[in-house]
Structure formats: structure tokens, C-alpha cells
Amino acid sequence: MAGPLGTHTLTAGRGLLFGGDYNPEQWPEHVWEEDVELMRAAGVNLVTVGVFSWARIEPEPGARDFGWLDRVLGLLADAGIAVDLATPTASPPPWLGHRWPGTLPVDESGHRLWYGARNQFCPSSPVYRERALALVTDLADRYAGHPALALWHVGNEYGQICHCDDSAAAFRAWLRERHGDLDGLNEAWGTTFWSQRYSDWAEVIPPRRAPYLINPTQKLDWARFCSDALLEHYRAERDVLRERTPGVPVTTNFMGLFKPVDYWQWAPEEDIVSNDWYPDPADPLFPVRSALTHDLTRSLGGGRPWLLLEQATTAVNWRPHNLPKPAGQLRLESLQAVARGSDGSCYFQWRASRFGAERFHAAMLPHAGPDTRLHAEVRAHGAELRRLSEVAGQPVPARVAVVHDWPSWWALEEAGRPSDRLTVPDQLLSFYRPLWERGVAVDLVPPSADLSGYALTVVPNLYLVSDEDAAALTAYVRDGGVLVVGPFSGVADPNGHIRTGRFPAPLRDVLGASGEEWLPAPEDRPVRCAWADGTPFDARTWTELLRAEGAEPVAVFTEGDLAGRPAVLRHRTGAGAAWYVATLPEHDALAELTGRALADAGVSGALAGPPPPGVEAVRRGPVLFLLNHGTTEARVPVTEPAEDLLTGSRADGTVTLAPRAVVALRPLA
Ligand code: GLA
């Protein structure tokens, strides 16, 4: 889990962190002084500097120009603003790709991706590695002990994939580690299928563009390798920093449920877990999606405080049609992250760029300048975060775990499956939403987690599962846990091979049920179901032909070939209970089912009852956050007298929340 340094070295004496990416290299020096003055006025106490400054620091191979950065860091240090200093290795200068084209990434069709944007590097290129580490070494030596240096920011949003020959060589080395010899590889990849047997390691390549469906295990291993190859590069930079500046925490900014990178493997390699999050204002479920993402980020760090490192004050520039955020939304979204464990709230970026691909991306200081509605909101928010200082470091305890696994995600969404309508992000959100609506705190966990501290564990989908993890889930229920498993789980082994026998083979005993056919449903028709008392509900997209083997069918399909067959089962076994959901129930039905499973587990939410619709309720340490994401005023009963830390006012009996209002209630002693 996250290393020993944690956020407290940052928040000590500062309280919650507030700031953003600062790209002074885009501006003449006289602007820097104005920047720092405005930052102070806004309560900014942390800025991320240098993310895209490689070409400025190293204008030609081997040269170094640190003078400008010395002056920037000096100004910030004098103003008492801490610096999250980036290794600028996410965007190499054009000279690197021009002189060493092998450093540029190659796509699956063999096309080289050129400079002119960013991220143009091959994670397995020795030249890129060497040049990056030389620069990182000099950067660390230059700023070791600098009073502004508070945090290292390695690279940016790692996710680059490359199919070149260097990557192929690194992939082969990785495969030898995993599978031993060629026989092991042939076995794991199932190469007797379609005459794919490899007779020489030199034949083994990344999944490059091919005439038809590519071997799914080759792709699964490739996804594992790509995440690991980036991690290896991250580690190499981090090790240089740790050696030269021990005591300065290291982070790299994650992207929530980002498919290409297995963050369970990455997070333990950081001192602080940080995330970039840009909810889409056009998505009606974005408050739920945000909460899920924040819970994931906190969970990646083992529950320790994390940092929301980048978000937008209003519209981004990279969707086709970029909706702005209404007044008050910036504050609501920021406080939502704080409520869910972030020790601060930072933005991309401080000052809006005049040029470049992100010239229309919102910032803390818009093109129109400080005399604007937006900047006034930014300042007001900076001031109010100071009133929440005591929240820094506080945990968000949860008794419910939701399982999420990257390799299972990769394997599930591989081509050539029964339906591409069943996806991991959708299933996660569907099963998470009823918990969020009830104000039930949730941790995300990998399937190998120790679940003994959780009363309820929800597995929205676990298509791929190892024997050990399936056995642990079984033991969890035997020992008193309540388990809810979503459809099409327990299907494949870690090589992505289908487990034979009635499904889900490794979970059959614990679920007390088994199946024989997966039956995707026509999309234009609901799947009709009913609870045991006859109350109907609809599901969609997916059905399974199951039989109970000790479990009680709590809902059945009511139409077609499956009429009368189980749709949802509950199995009391050992000291616990296991639920299996063999379809995608509509939201209200899944909420009903979740309520029953919570009752089985004896878990309730942050409030005595569910909060009003649209209101999020979450406890961080002693503080109860209530956030109104709805469009109408909401009245929330609170049982204990409390003080709203944001306003200093007293709350007793009922709290009234206007749309987008937030309270942070600390019980009065
Ligand atoms: C991410 C990146 C930033 C910027 C923003 C735009 O957060 O890290 O460099 O591109 O996206 O939304």
C-alpha cells in the first residue's frame, strides 16, 4: 500500500491543499509575479510545475537551462506556496524523436506516432529511458533541499502504448518471466487454436494489426505487459528521486477507472495517490461516477488520504461539445472529493493558456482575468477550504467492499464474447449507485483483498478469477460475510481460458446455483422478471439459464424460455449469505436487492435513513458531509446537534440544502 510518507508532510501547517498546474513557461516573466500575487490572494498553497517543460530545460541534447525554473521556484518559495515538481518526461522535445525515431511510439498498424502533440514516447525505448533519467537526475540534484519542493510528480497520466520492436523484445522478456518457456507460452495462449503455435521466441510479437480476431490471451498478456512496462519506467524515475531527495513524497497522477493501467499494481509504488478527474456535466449520473472514482482513488492508497490533483473549474476543451459548470458547481465537486478523502483540491490549470491545444480549457484564472465570476468563485473556494483544515488526514471508514480487477476487465471486454453490452464500468456504476444513494460508504478492493473487515462485498463482475480468489470469496461467506455477485462472473481462469463444467465453476458452491447457457437478450425488449412475492420488475440485455442448488430463487424470469427460472438467487451458507444476479436489473430493482443484501449484512448508511434523492451523505472522520446534487431544495434530518464548519452556523433537527449546497457538520461536543 501507499508508502509511509502520506499526505501529512504536505498538509502539516497548510491544511487542505489548493492550487493547480502552473505552466509559467508559457508566459513572460513579468506575468509570474502577478501570478504569485493572485495565487496568494486565492489561498493557493500548492502548484504543480514543469509537467511539460522538457524542451525548455533541455533545449538541445545534453544542454540544461534551469535559470527560469530557479526564478519560478524562488518566487513560489517566497510566497510560501509549495511546489509539486514534475519530471517533464511525458512530452519529450522534438529533437528526441527527430534524432532517435525509435523513441517514438508505434501503433498496432506499425505507424509511428510523431511529435507535435504529447505522450510521444515508447515506454520500452532504451534511449528514452536514458535521456529521461539523465534529466530527472539533474532536476533532483538541482532542487534537492529547495524550500518550495514538497512533492514529486512523475510524468503525467501514464497510459502510452507502443508496438515497436523494442516493445516486442521487452514483451518477450516479460512473457519468459510469466510463462517460463515456449511450451508454457503455447499452453497459456492456447495456440493449438488456429495454428498459432510458436516455435521460436523471435516469432512472438505484440498484438499488431491482423486480418481477424487476435488471440485473446495474447491481448490479455499484452495489456498486463503494457501496464507493467509503464510502471517499470515510473519506478526508474521514482528511484532516482528517492535516492537524491529522500523524504520528499512521490506521486503520479492517475485517471480513475482508466483501462490501460492496473492501478492496484501502481499505487503501492507511490507515497501519495493522486487522481485527475473531469466529470462530464452532460452525464446525468456524473455525481455517482465521481463518488465511485474518489472511492477508488482512496482505496488504491489503502484508505489513506489522497489528492485530487487535476480537475476543471468549468468546461474542458477535449469533448466535442464542452458544457460549462453552473455557479456553485466547482465548489460542490471539490467538496465531494474532500468528503471522500482527498486532502485538497487542485485544478488543471492555474492560468488559461493563450495558445496550444488547450487554449479553450478552463482554468482558475480565465483569459478574461481576475475580475470575473469564475475567479471570484475560485478565491471564495480557496478561502473556505481553510475552514476545513481539521478534515485533513481523516479517514472515510467503510463496511462495504466493491471488487474491481483490471485483468478481469481486460479479459471481459476482449472481442468475440457473447455480448459487448456487458462492460465493467457500467456494472460497477450500476451496483455502486444504490449504495451511494443510501449514503453507504464503500471501499473498492482487488479480488485478492483481505475482506474480513467488510460486512458486505459486492462483485459487479469478475469474469476472470483465480482459484485462490474464488476460494477466498467462498471462505468469506462461510465466515459470515455477505456476498453479491453480478452476471457472467467466475467464467475464465487467469489465462482467460473458459472454465468448463456448469458455471460459475469456482463459485458454484458458495452461490448454491449453477448455469449452463449465457443468453444475451434482444435490446429492444425488456427482460421481464418478478420477485418471489410476484412483484414484477424489468431487467435488460443479459440472461442466464440457471438452476438452484441450495440457493433460494428470490426473483425469477417470467417470460419466454426462461419463465420460472431463477434470475436472482440468495444462498445462506456457513455463517453468511451469497447473492447471484444473473441479469441486469433496472435501477429500482437493483436498489431493492441492494437494500436486502445490506440488511443481511447489518450495514446502514451515514444517516438514519436514505438521504433525499440527489443528496450525497458521507462521513469523513467525525464530519458529516451533505451535498445536494439535485435541482431542488432538500431537507435532511440530522439527529445530533452539529456545527457547519463551512459557515460556523449551528445545525439541529433539519438541514435545508439549496441545489448545489454543501454542509460539513461536526458534532457539537
Ligand atoms: C489532464 C492532463 C493535463 C491537461 C488536462 C486537460 O489532467 O494531465 O495536462 O491536459 O488533462 O483536461
Q: What is the rounded distance in angstroms from the CA atom of residue 77 to the CA atom of residue 24?
A: 15
Report pLDDT digits (tens) over 91-139. Answer: 999 999 999 999 999 999 999 999 999 999 999 999 999 999 999 999 9
Sheet order of strands, 650-657 included: 615-620, 623-628, 662-667, 634-644, 650-657
**Is the per-residue pLDDT at 1 higher than 70?**
no
What is the percent of the chain with per-residue pLDDT over 90, rounded to a whole number?
A: 98
In sequence order, which residues have a C-beta less than 8 Å from that of residue 229 and are 6 or more positions away? 123, 124, 167, 170, 174
Instruction: Characterise 471 by phi-psi region: left (phi > 0), alpha (psi -120 to 50), beta (else).
Output: alpha
What would the DSSP string read from start to end of 408-475?
Answer: HHHHHTSSSSS-TT--HHHHHHHHHHHHHHTT--EEEE-TTS--TT-SEEEES--SB--HHHHHHHHH
**Is the per-residue pLDDT at 290 higher than 50?**
yes
pLDDT of residue 6: 76
- 3.30.70.2740, 3.40.50.800, 3.40.50.150, 3.40.50.880: CATH of 400-601: 3.40.50.880
49 alpha carbon to ligand 1 midpoint, in Å? 13
Closest-lying ligand 1 atom to the alpha carbon of residue 52: 9
The CATH architecture to which 8-163+224-391 belongs is Alpha-Beta Barrel (3.20)
Q: What is the rounded distance in angstroms from the CA atom of residue 457 to the CA atom of residue 444?
A: 10
40 alpha carbon to ligand 1 midpoint, in Å? 23
In sequence order, which residues have a C-beta less than 8 Å from that of residue 89 and are 6 or more positions away? 54, 121, 132, 135, 136, 154, 155, 237
Residue of 22, 47, 310 with the most ligand 1 atoms within 8 Å of its CB, for mutation: 310
**Is the per-residue pLDDT at 591 higher than 70?**
yes
**Is the per-residue pLDDT at 581 higher than 50?**
yes
Q: How confident is the model at residue 458 (pLDDT cuts 50, 70, 90)?
A: very high
Q: Given the DSSP bridges, would you call strands 662-667 and 623-628 parallel, antiparallel or unpaired?
A: antiparallel
280 alpha carbon to ligand 1 midpoint, in Å? 14
Task: Answer for the pair 614, 643: CB distance below 8 angstroms, yes or no.
Answer: no
Report pLDDT digits (tens) over 526-556. Answer: 999 999 999 999 999 999 999 999 999 999 9
Q: What is the rounded distance in angstroms from the CA atom of residue 210 to the CA atom of residue 221?
A: 17
Widest CA span in the chain: 76
Report pLDDT digits (tens) over 388-445. Answer: 999 999 999 999 999 999 999 999 999 999 999 999 999 999 999 999 999 999 999 9
Q: What is the rounded distance in angstroms from the CA atom of residue 517 to the CA atom of residue 502?
A: 9
The label of the residue with cell 485538497 reads 344
In sequence order, which residues have a C-beta less than 8 Å from that of residue 25 and are 6 or more positions away? 52, 53, 56, 68
**Is the per-residue pLDDT at 499 higher than 70?**
yes
Closest-lying ligand 1 atom to the alpha carbon of residue 309: 7
Q: What is the mean pLDDT of the chain?
A: 97
Spacing of C-alpha 22 from chain mean position:
23
- CA-nearest residue, atom 12 of ligand 1: 316
Q: How confident is the model at residue 48 (pLDDT cuts 50, 70, 90)?
A: very high
- CA-nearest residue, atom 3 of ligand 1: 348
Q: What is the rounded distance in angstroms from the CA atom of residue 32 to the CA atom of residue 72?
A: 7
How is the chain split into domains, by residue range? Answer: 8-163+224-391, 167-203, 400-601, 615-667
**Segment 152-165 mean pLDDT:** 98
Query: Which residues belong to the active site?
Result: 157, 310
**Is the per-residue pLDDT at 5 higher than 80?**
no
- CA-nearest residue, atom 4 of ligand 1: 348
Of the CA atoms within 13 Å of residue 14, those in its CB half-sphere come to 25
Cell digits of residue 494: 487467469
483 alpha carbon to ligand 1 midpoint, in Å? 38
Q: What is the rounded distance in angstroms from the CA atom of residue 306 to the CA atom of residue 296?
A: 10
Q: What is the rounded distance in angstroms from the CA atom of residue 383 to the CA atom of residue 15?
A: 11
Pocket of ligand 1 (CB under 6 A): 156-157, 276, 278, 310, 316, 348, 358, 361
- CA-nearest residue, atom 5 of ligand 1: 348
pLDDT of residue 639: 86
| 364: DSSP letter | S
Closest-lying ligand 1 atom to the alpha carbon of residue 316: 12
**Is the per-residue pLDDT at 3 higher than 70?**
no
Alpha-carbon dihedral 471, 475, 477, 479, rounded to 10 degrees = 180
**Is the per-residue pLDDT at 565 higher than 50?**
yes
What sign has the CA pseudo-torsion 138, 139, 140, 145? Answer: positive
- Superfamily for the 615-667 domain: Golgi alpha-mannosidase II (2.60.40.1180)
Q: How confident is the model at residue 468 (pLDDT cuts 50, 70, 90)?
A: very high
Cell digits of residue 447: 479480488
**Is the per-residue pLDDT at 594 higher than 50?**
yes
pLDDT of residue 457: 99
Task: Answer for the pair 351, 22: CB distance below 8 angstroms, yes or no.
Answer: yes
Alpha-carbon dihedral 85, 91, 95, 99, rounded to 10 degrees = 120
What Cα–Cα distance (Å) separates residue 553 from each residue in 231, 503, 567, 597? 45, 17, 7, 14
Q: How confident is the model at residue 2 (pLDDT cuts 50, 70, 90)?
A: very low
Give first-to-last CA distance, the chain, whole Å.
34
Q: What is the rounded distance in angstroms from the CA atom of residue 271 to the CA atom of residue 303?
A: 13
**Segment 589-596 mean pLDDT:** 98
Three-state secondary structure readout of 169-237? HHHHHHHHHHHCCHHHHHHHHCCCHHHCCCCCHHHCCCCCCCCCCCCHHHHHHHHHHHHHHHHHHHHHH
What would the DSSP string read from start to end of 51-79?
Answer: TT-HHHH-SSTT----HHHHHHHHHHHHT
**578 φ, ψ to 5°?**
-125, 135
Cell digits of residue 207: 498484438
Do domains 8-163+224-391 and 615-667 share one topology? The answer is: no
Report pLDDT digits (tens) over 10-20. Answer: 999 999 999 99
| CB-count exposure of residue 247 (10 Å: 0-12, 13-18, 19+) | exposed
303 alpha carbon to ligand 1 midpoint, in Å? 25
E strand or H helix that includes residue 35: helix 29-42
| 359: DSSP letter | T
pLDDT of residue 4: 57
Task: Answer for the pair 484, 581: CB distance below 8 angstroms, yes or no.
Answer: yes
The structure's pTM equals: 0.98
What Cα–Cα distance (Å) separates residue 47 from each residue in 93, 332, 469, 500, 653? 23, 21, 41, 54, 41
Sheet order of strands, 456-459 included: 442-445, 400-403, 456-459, 482-485, 576-581, 566-573, 552-557, 527-531, 536-540, 584-585
Alpha-carbon dihedral 31, 364, 92, 174, rounded to 10 degrees = 160
